[in-house]
Amino acid sequence: LFAGDWQFVTAAPTVEVLPPMVGMEIALAGRSNVGKSSLVNALTGRKALARTSVTPGRTQELIFFRVGPELSLVDMPGYGFAKAPKEKVEAWTHTIKAYLRGRVNLARVFVLIDSRHGIKPVDEEILDLLDKAAVSYAIILTKSDQVKPTALPHVIAGVLEKIKRRPAAYPVVFPTSSQTGAGFPELRAAVARLLHE
């Protein structure tokens, strides 16, 4: 699956221009700069499939990537603070929420959380939306290389504590580093299982 040929499908600025539904979709949600686009590249093994930047607000549309007829990955703009005009941020935040609530073939959302910061109020808002819409999601911790290995279990425990009563949350957390590749074998296995559920 991940050795396959990943293709860019389309960039959708609004939900009016989403691509046709083919197979299942997995969407990546998270605060601006958390590492969503880097995760697309690390997961697919393609260095520059998705565009990344040190500046929050790099991805401004829903970016669809597909491998074969079964699976698409959707890189999304971030929520929260971004270096972009307020109207633009409001518009893409609206698009993210409308897509997350209303996409029939959205099989799973990965909500990315920075290992250094944990779950913030702005993340809770998105988790509330997903719980309300009954869209199942799992938490991925990003940038695990930025915290001490001994601190990581505490970060994971803190996240698990915060999601344990959330109805649409899988009670697992995937610690990852797009920099070192840590956690990606586990994440790829989880995606493969999801496809064959």
Contacts with Mg ion by CB under 5 A lie at: 36-37, 58-59
Examine residue 118 and tell whether it contacts ligand GTP (CB under 6 A): no
> Residue 80 binds which one of Mg ion, ligand GTP, none, with CB within 5 to 8 A depending on kind?
none
Q: If binding is defined by CB under 6 A, does position 146 make contact with ligand GTP?
A: yes
Which residue among 142, 174, 175, 184 contacts ligand GTP (CB under 6 A)? 142
Which of 179, 188, 190, 195 binds ligand GTP (CB under 6 A)? It is: 179
Nearer to ligand GTP, 35 or 70 (CB): 35
Using CB under 6 A, which of the segments 4-12, 94-102, 148-156, 177-185 binds ligand GTP? 177-185
Least distance in angstroms from the C-beta of 129 to ligand GTP? 17
Give residues 11-50 in contact with ligand GTP (rule: CB under 6 A): 30, 32-38
CA distance 50 to 62: 11
Of residues 1, 8, 45, 53, which one binds ligand GTP by CB under 6 A?
A: 53
Per DSSP, the residues of the chain read -TTS-EEEEEEESSGGGPPPP-SEEEEEEEBTTSSHHHHHHHHHT-TTSS---SSTT---SEEEEEETTTEEEEE---BS--SS-HHHHHHHHHHHHHHHHH-TTEEEEEEEEETTT---HHHHHHHHHHHHHT--EEEEEE-GGGS-TTTHHHHHHHHHHHHTT-TTEEEEEEE--TTT-TTHHHHHHHHHHHHT-
Residue nearest to ligand GTP (CB): 78
Binding mask 69-108 for ligand GTP (x = CB under 6 A): --------xx------------------------------
Task: Show the tokens assigned to 140.
Answer: 């991925």
Quickly count: other Cβ atoms within 10 Å of residue 64's Cβ: 20
Question: Nearer Cβ to ligand GTP, position 47 or 193?
Answer: 47
Specify whether the backbone of 160 is left (phi greater than 0), alpha (psi in -120 to 50) or beta.
Answer: alpha
Site size toward ligand GTP, by CB under 6 A: 24
For ligand GTP, the binding residues (CB under 6 A) are 30, 32-38, 52-54, 56-59, 77-78, 142-143, 145-146, 177-179
